[in-house]
Amino acid sequence: MPARKPKAPTNRAQALCRLDDLTPGTVLRVEAPLGGETREFLVLRRGEADGLGDDVVIFPNACPHIFINLDLYDGWFMTQDGQRLLCGQHWAEFRLPDGLCVAGPCVGRSLEPIPAVIEDGAVYLGDFEPQRITWPTRIIRFPLIPPKRSNP
């Protein structure tokens, strides 16, 4: 089934980033004004190597378990194998591209995927319902490299 084309961006005042800023397989944390507040988003450009195509996915930087930002450790968003988003607070793992939690205390809950609209090489938020997201009340971030954890 072909993917549904997102509606035109609801916030053209500010692009989240340039498509060229996104290296396939990496995540970029960006801020954007939304409803009178500044919110954080994670912009992911998937690569061909993951078998899911080369497109852009956006998620709010908000864990559905305890409503904090996912990157407890500054810039660390992905599992070691690079296949899932990770919450650094309690190790919840979120499947791509739909954001479903597949490991950790919030299994079955999801990050809310937000459509990306790419126009003239810029990435914008597509049409979505911000009120469906429980945004973090505060941002917690440590400038530390977290210890490596071993997989059982």
Question: Per DSSP, which regions of the chain are E strands?
Answer: 17-18, 26-34, 37-45, 56-60, 84-86, 93-95, 101-103, 116-119, 122-125
In order, the DSSP letters of 83-102 are: SEEE-TTT--EEETTT-BEE
Predicted pLDDT of residue 129: 81
Q: Contact at 8 Å (CB) between 38 and 143?
A: no
User: Which numeric CATH code is attached to 17-125?
Assistant: 2.102.10.10
Query: What residue segments make up the domains of the chain, in order of their start?
Result: 17-125
- Residue 88, number of CB atoms within 10 A of its CB: 20
Predicted pLDDT of residue 9: 45
Encode pLDDT of 36-93 as tens digits: 888 899 998 876 544 445 589 899 998 888 878 888 777 778 888 888 999 888 889 9
Predicted pLDDT of residue 94: 94
pTM, entire model:
0.77
Predicted pLDDT of residue 46: 74
